[in-house]
Structure 1
């Protein structure tokens, strides 16, 4: 997100907005959609300690079911989508797939540490998994802003305080519950840290790049101590567009090879919606960032992609952009469409002019898309 005022909230303050034993590699078949039994939400006004300890409705994991973690595809990409309705509405993934001509391999949503639903929701994860997709959570350590603007200065959630253990309660609760869930989960932690619109930004809220590394490793260590081996950790920068307030020395806050499973970026074609934006194609948007991320020798993800129709043909942009990503970005292993409306009202959803755009001839290409591949873990 290069626009610092975009945010993702749903009713009740819930955010919408994601050492391993070598085992058998399994390709996951697409599973039939089944109804989940509950959709209870936490009281957003409850204390964090209450929020993360109240039992979440839903059946416990079948202990006979093998524990698994996600592997990146050897070639091609996982197609993903960010759309909170797919997490909470039974049958929504099937409908989205029918409308767009492609079934998502990853479904992302957004959750914050201090507002909204603060617990890991295994019932949401199961609903996604039952469609054959992998649940991905963009996990945001902050309080959601009031109104339409971000509030990056939040001293109670600075990187130094995260690293010092001030928020270990919620981190331990998530680690415990994800370990119990036992199936693949992707966590996109503290994303777009090279911008200045979130409290974990590397140059706001008293933060420094070393603080980011320390905070990331601290959270990761808590998960390690809880025996969590089913999480894929996604380190995600904002694309390098040379915008005000954005840092480009990204290696200074890379947590390190052992602490990261995927590297990622987010980038949108804002068209002519703003005075600072223009209609931009794939290479101007992603080329420099892709080259920088390639240095880390990790699978690369575009974790937020989308286009407006202000200033150009959005449907044509989708076809041409995906064609270019397919042919010119060989290390790309996942692409997630941001299927939502931003805070300023820009509509990135696939409807109207862009309805079914992913299914256009030459857009995705069936030989490019992959179904999730899993690794069996030790019991």
Structure 2
């Protein structure tokens, strides 16, 4: 639900939507602000009415469903590709706006869980440490990242783990192991809200094997443990990410079927 209309319409959850009968846990990305809007305005409360409507709609639709709804707000804020992408100058406003959304979530949908999701790495020209945008553990329930086999691509176990433990020029996590350690350091569970191969770079079953191992070894609900993971099985960008029913990474797809 990556735009303002989607925040309140919540199409996948409606009576004609894909997840109308879903009773399990669900991760719902709702964006934050749209083009022409700003984090400074969000910090002032200019979008509280829309965010309240979104949370009230979620709470109403979710009533009676036993699963937990995880709200992925302002996901990948440290990238450059969404209207809610931040600059270094946005830090204080972002944190203030996040706290406003958290207060609304606690008021209108306390059963939900709020997910803080930086992109797994910050583009080098951004000029900031994404950790300085973290609002504090009391304002977040789960820390998650997207994680795909690219930038850099891994075709061996050593390449996978070289990336897994890597950090950026500011010391902020880039790799999945570094990210889960950050989650542990702030006392929150970890999730991988989107992950998978990237067939534009190659077809590496070893990536699937190592992700499976990482997930199993770190599974749990405590601080620095893996609470959930979601395969990004979406046929976009020339089907770079899809594994089923069709795929451009047949070896990775087969390994996924074997392991999961």
* Range of TM-score over shorter length: 0.7 to 0.9
**Alignment partner, residue 252 of structure 1:** 132
Does residue 1:133 correspond to 2:24, yes or no?
Answer: yes
Whole-angstrom distance in 1 between the partners of 2:147 and 2:30 = 18
Whole-angstrom distance in 2 between the partners of 1:289 and 1:340 = 24
Does residue 1:112 correspond to 2:10, yes or no?
Answer: no
Equivalent positions of 1:334-373 (< 5 A) are 334-342=228-236, 344-345=237-238, 347-351=240-244, 352=247, 353=250, 354-360=252-258, 363-364=259-260
Contact 2:218/2:225 (8 A) holds in 1: no
Deviation at 1:302, TM superposition (A): 0.9
**Alignment partner, residue 234 of structure 1:** 115
Q: Name the structure, 1 or 2, with higher relative contact order (CA <8 Å, separation 6+).
A: 1
Change (3 A) 1:177 1:131: closer
Does residue 1:211 correspond to 2:104, yes or no?
Answer: no
Whole-angstrom distance in 2 between the partners of 1:235 and 1:303 = 10
Deviation at 1:239, TM superposition (A): 1.1
Equivalent positions of 1:194-343 (< 5 A) are 194-203=78-87, 207-226=89-108, 228-240=109-121, 243-246=123-126, 249-270=129-150, 277-279=152-154, 280-281=159-160, 284=163, 285-327=175-217, 331-342=225-236
- Structure with the bigger percentage of helix: 2
Whole-angstrom distance in 2 between the partners of 1:287 and 1:313 = 22
Equivalent positions of 1:93-104 (< 5 A) are none
TM-score by length of 1: 0.54
Choose the corresponding residue for 1:171, options 51, 70, 75. Answer: 51
Question: SS of the residue aligned with 1:157?
Answer: coil
Contact 1:304/1:336 (8 A) holds in 2: yes
Contact 2:27/2:193 (8 A) holds in 1: no
Change (3 A) 1:230 1:283: farther
Whole-angstrom distance in 1 between the partners of 2:192 and 2:126 = 18
Residues 352-378 of structure 1 show CA distances to partners (whole Å, capped at 9, x for unaligned) of: 414454331xx34xxxxxxxxxxxxxx
Question: SS of the residue aligned with 2:19?
Answer: helix
Whole-angstrom distance in 1 between the partners of 2:189 and 2:162 = 19
Contact 1:129/1:135 (8 A) holds in 2: no
List runs of 5+ in structure 1 lacking aligned partners: 1-109, 144-153, 271-275, 365-379
Whole-angstrom distance in 2 between the partners of 1:125 and 1:159 = 33
Change (3 A) 1:210 1:124: farther
Does residue 1:159 correspond to 2:39, yes or no?
Answer: yes
Residues 160-206 of structure 1 show CA distances to partners (whole Å, capped at 9, x for unaligned) of: 111222222321212222232324321100011222333323317xx
Whole-angstrom distance in 1 between the partners of 2:141 and 2:72 = 10
Question: SS of the residue aligned with 2:243?
Answer: coil
For these two proteins, the number of residue pairs brought into alignment is: 231
Whole-angstrom distance in 2 between the partners of 1:235 and 1:311 = 28
Deviation at 1:133, TM superposition (A): 2.2
Question: SS of the residue aligned with 1:292?
Answer: helix
Whole-angstrom distance in 2 between the partners of 1:291 and 1:170 = 34
Question: SS of the residue aligned with 2:42?
Answer: helix
Whole-angstrom distance in 2 between the partners of 1:159 and 1:316 = 40
- Alignment RMSD (CA, Å): 2.9
- Of structures 1 and 2, the larger Rg is shown by 1
Change (3 A) 1:165 1:225: same
Residues 123-178 of structure 1 show CA distances to partners (whole Å, capped at 9, x for unaligned) of: 269863744422321011344xxxxxxxxxx4x32111112222223212122222
